[in-house]
């Protein structure tokens, strides 16, 4: 197995290309020099990436809102007026030209809410919320992942790839299928997207093999059991999937965390759960009480989504990598085009912990049927 620490390692497919600009940056020591190297590499790659072309189409959809401790969302930087907020999970449908010349479809973050509820943290939180009769204040359902593509005129069978920035609270069996039943069910699960492969960082898969207590609360127990290996496409480091779309290794939140980067008519967008709002990457603009002040006090340019803190220095570097890649928004140029995959909800009832700015969703191009996988 290739050492995942090397950013120039390849994936298990010839259609995915390594990104040489990031080779070796995560090995540089001391840590201040590593941050500089990450930023410089992102600047170099941003120029080449932007010149390669744009994705054909990208559209985002809200999936569900879930409760989340405010002290995690902004690394303890918010006033403790609302100890619990809600975060909204997003799913993206992206179409792009693959390096093999074929149109590809990627579904990013197709969270199945029923699976997420089985992660130890949410399982315990749900029991508490039911006891307090407070569950409805934090939870809201918008769309089922497997119903979205048909609403766009695209079949679920046409999806080539599925990916998540990391596998916190994901029961992968419910998404990619399994060859044995989930506990309490009579038959094995069929995949939501029958012909898709899960693009996943090799270190994220390794977490399921041997989990540390600091990781345990956020992963669904046995969430990978029975998922056929042929449905997995493991990769190391940073990779390009095709024209206008890349997955950048952004470790820290988890060892195998990676971020979606897409090029659009409005420039480059980045999506991950390293932060919970635009404020997270630009705290100097934040109006959330304590965020701007604490970031300035400590001399930090980003504020982490800090529920696990597997490696806070790595996560900080990763967020700098993301904001260096992102373009300024043409709608409001002081804000960078970074859209959280799970974003702090803008609901009045959790004031003052609401985003200072939200980009809303993404909607570029037209999703079209690829019709490559049979009738």
Angle at Cα 41 formed by Cα 313 and Cα 356, nearest 5°?
60
Tell me how far CA of residue 38 lies from CA of 26, 41, 136, 313, 338, in angstroms: 8, 5, 42, 12, 18
- Report percent pLDDT > 70 for the chain: 88
pLDDT score at 114: 74
Q: Kindly state the average pLDDT of the residues 81-110.
A: 94
Q: Is 37 exposed, middle or buried (0-12, 13-18, 19+ CB in 10 A)?
A: middle
pLDDT tens readout for residues 353-374: 999 999 999 999 999 986 555 5
Residue 2 confidence class, pLDDT cut points 50, 70, 90: very low
Q: Is the pLDDT of residue 209 over 90?
A: no
Half-sphere exposure (CA, 13 Å, Cβ side) for 145? 25
Listed residue (231, 73, 88, 244) closest to 163, CA to CA: 231
Q: Kindly state the average pLDDT of the residues 286-291.
A: 94
Q: What distance in Å separates the CA atoms of residue 49 and residue 96, rounded to the nearest whole number?
A: 14
Residue 375 or residue 350, greater confidence:
350
Q: Is the pLDDT of residue 12 over 60?
A: no
Q: Which two tokens stand for residue 18?
A: 């390594």
Q: Is the pLDDT of residue 127 over 90?
A: no
Per-chain mean pLDDT for the chain: 90
Q: What distance in Å separates the CA atoms of residue 36 and residue 317, rounded to the nearest whole number?
A: 9
* Helix, strand, or coil (residue 82): coil
pLDDT score at 51: 97
pLDDT score at 151: 94
Q: Is the pLDDT of residue 283 over 70?
A: yes
Q: Could you tell me if residue 330 is left (phi over 0), alpha (psi between -120 and 50 degrees) or otherwise beta?
A: alpha
């Amino acid at each position: 197995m290739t050492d995942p620490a090397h950013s120039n390692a390849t994936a298990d497919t010839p259609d995915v290309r390594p990104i040489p600009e990031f080779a070796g940056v995560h090995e540089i020591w001391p840590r201040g020099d590593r941050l500089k190297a990450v930023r410089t590499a992102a600047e170099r790659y941003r120029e080449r990436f932007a010149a390669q072309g744009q994705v054909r189409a990208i559209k985002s959809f809200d999936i569900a809102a879930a409760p989340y401790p405010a002290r995690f969302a902004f690394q303890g930087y918010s006033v403790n007026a609302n100890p619990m907020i809600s975060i909204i999970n997003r799913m993206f449908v992206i179409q792009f030209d693959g390096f093999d010349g074929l149109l590809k479809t990627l579904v990013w973050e197709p969270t199945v809410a029923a699976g997420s509820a089985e992660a130890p943290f949410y399982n315990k939180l749900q029991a508490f919320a039911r006891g307090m009769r407070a569950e409805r204040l934090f939870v809201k359902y918008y769309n089922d992942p497997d119903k979205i593509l048909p609403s766009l005129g695209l079949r679920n069978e046409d999806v080539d790839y599925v990916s998540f920035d990391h596998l916190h609270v994901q029961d992968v069996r419910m998404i990619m299928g399994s060859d044995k039943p989930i506990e309490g069910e009579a038959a094995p699960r069929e995949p939501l997207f029958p012909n898709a492969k899960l693009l996943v960082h090799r270190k994220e898969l390794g977490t399921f093999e041997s989990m540390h207590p600091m990781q345990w609360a956020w992963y669904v127990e046995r969430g990978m059991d029975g998922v056929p290996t042929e449905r997995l496409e493991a990769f190391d480091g940073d990779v390009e999937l095709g024209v206008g779309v890349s997955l950048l290794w952004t470790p820290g939140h988890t060892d195998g965390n990676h971020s979606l980067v897409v090029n659009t008519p409005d420039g480059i967008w980045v999506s991950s759960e390293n932060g919970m709002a635009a404020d997270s990457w630009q705290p100097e603009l934040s109006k959330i009480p304590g965020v701007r002040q604490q970031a300035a006090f400590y001399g930090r340019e980003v504020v982490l989504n800090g529920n696990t803190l597997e490696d806070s220095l790595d996560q900080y570097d990763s967020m700098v990598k993301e904001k260096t890649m992102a373009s300024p928004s043409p709608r409001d140029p002081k804000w960078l085009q970074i859209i959280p995959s799970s974003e702090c909800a803008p609901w009045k009832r959790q004031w003052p912990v609401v985003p200072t700015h939200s980009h809303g969703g993404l909607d570029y191009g037209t999703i079209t049927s690829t019709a490559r996988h049979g009738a």
